[in-house]
Structure formats: structure tokens, C-alpha cells
Amino acid sequence: MDMKKMRFFLLICMQLLGHLLFSSELDCYLLPLEHPISDKLQQLFNDPSRIENLDYWLERGFIVENFDESCREWSILVLSHPQIPDYVFKKNYNSSDPQIELQNYRARIEGASLIAKYIRLMHCKHLAVPQKWLYCLPSLEGSIDRSVLICEKFNLIPGGYWGGPNKELYASMNREVMQELVRALYDLCGCDAWPQNLPFMENGCIAFIDTEHVGLSYGDFFRLLPFINPLLTDEAMKIWDDLCQTRTPWFLCQPSKEVDLER
């Protein structure tokens, strides 16, 4: 076996070992080994020691979706790859502590799982959340050293909130969409709800793309209210007040942050 094949074989073995060592704690977060993109990921991430180097990603054909002159100062990078078109990758670029990075990714996965559960149980027609997984890169010693967050890629309206049509879509939001959104913000106890974190999709749904703050920002509704269709703000406020007076938020009634990757 030549050195190139040997190195690839060892990398696969380390991936398997990483899954075995941490299965009890992280199994429900991990991208399954049998997932269709697993083989491609093993080829792309063939040098875990360089995963913190942005040039490593660029050399392998990744594209930084949120790139600008201040990109290297951002806390997280959003990347895509032409050979894996249905997914995006998020990486805490400035994280010096792998455990803090891992905790952040877990929070994002837990939040996405809770939102997905809520959307499913409440039969929401106008809300969506991408599925998210953890992809761990073991060190040569066999312990998980660094990780990457993998997210299902949605067809979002381009341009962000401030530079694209999302602003107009919020300002012209119809009643049914508004009602679902207000109830979700109440029931989820917030989710860092700014329009840029809740963009419209090409199919007309609103996507919850920033999911690590679920349950941690109860007053989000009041931040979002000024952006909603001005013809509906009074009704939105009444829905919010009625919810506050009549029932406990759904999030507070959940027994635990159950992670369900089998949607």
C-alpha cells in the first residue's frame, strides 16, 4: 500500500475511532457515517491539523459565503463546496478552545432540532429550519480535537436583509405568515430574531438559520415587530399579548433539549 492510500486508510480509521470514543455523548449530534456526503468529507478533510487555517479550506475548493474585508475577524465562517451543493459548513474561525467551539455547535444543533419539532407538532406551513450535524475531526491521538458544523442548504432569497428583497417581503408579509411567526417567537422564547437571521426562502417560507439562542432571548418579538407589515403590527401585538396572558411558552414545557436528527 502506497503512502497516499495508507494516509487515507488511517484517516478513515481515526474517523471510526472518534465515533466510537464519543458515541455515548455525541452520537445524536454526529453526521451518520453512512450519510451520502461522508466519503467526500473524508477526502476533503484529509489533514485535520490544518482545519483552523482558512487557506486550507480555500485550497480544497470551499467558497466563503459571508466573505468581506473583515471576514477573518468574524466569529463564524459560512462556507460551501461545489461538489456538495446541498449543504453549507460553519466554522468558528477565531475559536482557540475546541470544547467551547463544540458546545456552540451543539447548541445550534439542539436549537434546530427543537424548532423542527415545534414546526412539525404545530403544523406550521410557513416556517422552516435547516437540519444540522456535527462533523468531528480526530487528532492523531484518537481524541476529537476539532469539529465542523454541517447544515442543510436552503434556497434563501439572495442579498440578505438590508441589501436584497427580504426587507420588502417583511414589509408586505401576509396575515397567515405573521401569525405563525409571532406564535413561534413566543413559544420558542426567542431565537436571536433579526430579519437577517430569519430570511425568506424562495418558496415563501421564513427560515430559522441562526439556532443557538433558542429559549434565550424572550423579547425578540419586540425587535422584529418594526420590520413586519405595518398594516399587521396591531394584530401581531394583540396575538402576543393574548399568548402572554393565556398559556406558557411551548419551549418551557419541554422535558429536555432532545436532539432528533431523524426528521
User: For residue 66, what pLDDT is reported?
Assistant: 74
- Between CA 166 and CA 186 the distance in angstroms is 22
Residues paired with 151 in a beta bridge: 88, 132
162-176 pLDDT, tens digit each:
667 998 999 999 999
CA 82 to centroid of chain Cα atoms: 19
Residue recorded with cell 473524508: 42
List pLDDT tens digits, range 39-82: 999 899 888 778 888 888 999 999 998 755 444 555 688 999 99
Helix (H) or strand (E) holding 168: helix 166-171
The residue among 215, 220, 222 whose CA lies nearest residue 189 is 215
Lowest mean pLDDT segment, chosen from 81-85, 127-131, 141-145, 183-187? 141-145
Listed by start position, the domains of the chain span 3-122+130-152, 166-253
pTM of the model: 0.84
* C-alpha cell read off for 75: 466569529
Q: Do 160 and 199 touch, CB atoms closer than 8 A? A: yes
- Given a cut of 50, whether residue 230 has pLDDT beyond it is yes
